[in-house]
Chains A and B, each alone.
Chain A
Amino acid sequence: MTDRYDAIIVGMGSAGGILAEQLTKAGAKVLGLEKGPDYTQDDFEIKHDELRYYQRGAIVAGVNVDPVTWRPDENARARVLPWSAGALGIDEPLYGLPSIGTGGGTLHWGCAAYRFREADFRMKSAIAERFGEQALPEGSTVADWPISYDDLEPYYEMVEHEQGISGRAGNVRGVLAEGTNPFDPPRRNDYPMPPITQGPGDVPFVEATKRLGMHPFRQPLALNSVEYKGRSACVNCGFCHGFPCHVKAKSTTQVTSVPEAKATGNLDLRSQSRVLRINRSADGREVRGVTYVDAHDVPHDVEAPIVILTAYALENVRLMLVSGINANGEVGQHFMTHNFGWFTSILPEATNPFIGTFNASSAIDDFTSERVPDNDLGVLWGSPIISVTGDLQPIEAYHNMDPRVPKFGLDLKHWMRDNYLHMHRMYSQTTNFPYRRHYCDLDPVVKDRWGQPALRITHDWEDHDADSVTLMGRYKELIAREMGAKSYWTDSPRPPYHLSTHDVGVHRMGEDPATSVTDIYGEVHECRGLYAIGGGQFVSYGGYNPNQTIQALAYFSSEQLLSQHGALGTFRRGVNAT
């Protein structure tokens, strides 16, 4: 016997939680399949443990369960992650896949909630207009988005108000607010909450950037600064990025959308349930449902006229490929990921880096996206420089040590003793252009414990990536010196990781079914009723965190699904059934 639903959602995370809420509230009967646990607040009440969460990755997908392999190019043999951490995988625990379970990636995230800029949606044209048609690096497949900032603006606002974002807008209906970001894209309404309490280490950054003529602004965060929708304000515990929240202050769909969807009575949420394949009609042109295994590894077939993949960009691709969905060869192409350009300084005054969240801080957009200054390195698109003040526990601090200091003996011990309380960090997620040579496919050798092929990433840092880190590093150095830093250092422009929870672009959206995987609403061109929603739809990738746009796309798609299928009566059956 098979179960039938109006829609099946694969992954109850950032986008999936929102789609579940929107569809069930409209009366649709939805099956939510989540490979991780259905967390409750009891799971997270005491989470103040760096070893458990940050170093041992208690809420992220382990590579022994979800292997990912990587190779720099087609001539190299792919290795199982964590290749980022050296042969034995010990140094960099968070350069992997995002957290799983209800809430998905929004459980572990650092809450940075940036809208993309207007120009980010037309990156290719904007670069051509300024630098010429030939300026883009050889082989780049960057394109303009099929939707504009204006199309997405109302949905960004929905994220801000429905999920709960704190911050202070710089540009409301064209009116610039004093003392905030003068380069903000225009918006209709301000954030629903003011910025959260500023971390002490951010003060020198703000003062230094102002003296340098830059324009620091407080970051928009998916974190309550005041009580919001019955959830508490942040208590500044300093176990945030990489950790779940113990007071429900972090706006994760685990505490926002998923409970709302459950409350409708229309969501059948099955956790620890792993989808193995997408089932289609005999001709492959329509989706029929999915096959999944439950916590006891018992397989089930479930049916629905609509199947929505919201399992993370890379897992969406893996599911499509193992199901034979890739008629035009575009599934898995255009892989993009961020290069963070970490820059650490030792400041003269104490920064108390353990206090408050990672992003209880400011950023500058002076050099972001189309605002990139003319430069000798050929960098075509800039990125924000973000000050990081809190959330730094001692083991992670050790990982960020000055590379010139020996990492053993009294040198190590005294360095930690004398510098930990004075550490300040900056990063810039630099623009990553897509190329044909950067893609995901199924690993021909490595399989997971269910016999499914691992996803294989073929990617290496290009000159433009490294040059972008170098260019932004010059500004970081200027800021560090202005802050009076006693010492400072930066990551390699070609870092060892190629996967970071910021991986996007691999099921590109577009109007032409020959050159893209989905339409603008995420419906897969070759299979009616199948949707793949999230960062995989991105067409280009500037320097902002991806989640705000992922969630805006989820609201955008929800509306289209409801107008199309609600009108057709597909979901009315769900209303009658409840």
Chain B
Amino acid sequence: MGSAYALDDALLFLNPAQAAMIDAFTAQIIPSEAGSPGAREAAVTSYIDRSLAGFMRDLQSVYRTGLRELADLVAGRYSVGFVQLSEEQQRDVVASLDQVSRADPSDFLGQFYRIVREHTVQGFFGDPAYGGNRGVVGWKLVGFPGAQWGYSPEQMRPGVDAKSIPILTVKDLYTRIGGTR
């Protein structure tokens, strides 16, 4: 069984059970490893929850329906909920949805999987202001320096180690600009 979902943010759209399911599901899309945080540590669930309460409210119904149909699919196969499955079983479910989404683009659960996958990537690699990418773990993973005002001509040269550039968020940039005014 995957790690338990820790409810440390107030939920704005999802209910706690839905949030736990999203948390387990997105953890299979970008998994955690020892010393290498994944979607769970990045708080992707908070990103999705906040987005559904705001910018993505048109997708509220898709999420409600998708989570219910996913629960039905899992119950039919394993007689328990997605959250209670082992890591391996959860991985198998996600892999089967990935397969379906490519084989039949009209399949609703396949579409739901693609939507959640997209939002997982957004929550993992977007600015932390949106509730995800906590501790800029997504940017650290790949070496993206984030919200930089600019780069010098020296930094534009080949051979510069991107991971040596201190990462900045949008909020950091506001702080820096405020300091120069």
Contacts and interface: CB of A to CB of B under 8 A. Distances in A.
B162 A354 contact: yes
Contacts of A197: 153, 156
B142 A412 contact: no
Interface residues of B, number: 55
A355 B130 contact: no
B31 A421 contact: no
B91 A407 contact: no
B157 interface: yes
Contact of A88 (B33, B62, B127, B138): B62
Contacts of A238: 148, 151
Contacts of B130: 51
**Chain A interface, DSSP helix/strand/loop, else mixed:** loop
Contacts of B94: 408-409
B1 interface: no
B56 to A, nearest CB: 9
A557 B32 CA distance: 60
Contact of A235 (B38, B105, B151): B151
A408 B150 CA distance: 32
A26 interface: no
Contacts of A91: 114, 118
Given A50-B127, A360-B156, A409-B94, A417 B141 contact: yes
Interface string A408-442: 11101100110011000000000000000000000
Interface stretch (B12-20, B67-75, B170-178): B170-178
A354 B146 CA distance: 9
B115 interface: yes
A45 B156 contact: no
Contacts, number: 139
A: interface residue count bin: 35 or more
A381 B118 CA distance: 37
Interface stretch (A393-401, A466-474, A519-527, A565-573): A393-401
Interface in B56-111: 59, 62, 91, 94-95, 98, 105-106, 111
B159 interface: yes
Nearest to A204: B158
Interface hub of B126, B153, B156 (most chain A Cβ within 10 A): B156
A55 B130 CA distance: 13
Interface of A: 45-46, 48-51, 55-56, 86-88, 90-91, 197-200, 203, 235-239, 246-247, 349-350, 352, 354-356, 360, 393-395, 397-398, 406-410, 412-413, 416-417, 420-421
* A-B complex: 4 closest residue pairs judged by Cβ atoms: A235-B150, A48-B147, A394-B125, A420-B142
Contacts of A199: 156
18 contacts: A46-B174, A51-B130, A56-B55, A86-B114, A88-B115, A236-B152, A238-B148, A247-B150, A349-B158, A350-B161, A352-B160, A354-B144, A354-B162, A394-B125, A394-B139, A395-B121, A395-B126, A416-B141
B46 interface: no
B106 A87 contact: yes
Nearest to B150: A235
B135 interface: no
Contacts of B91: 409
B133 to A, nearest CB: 9
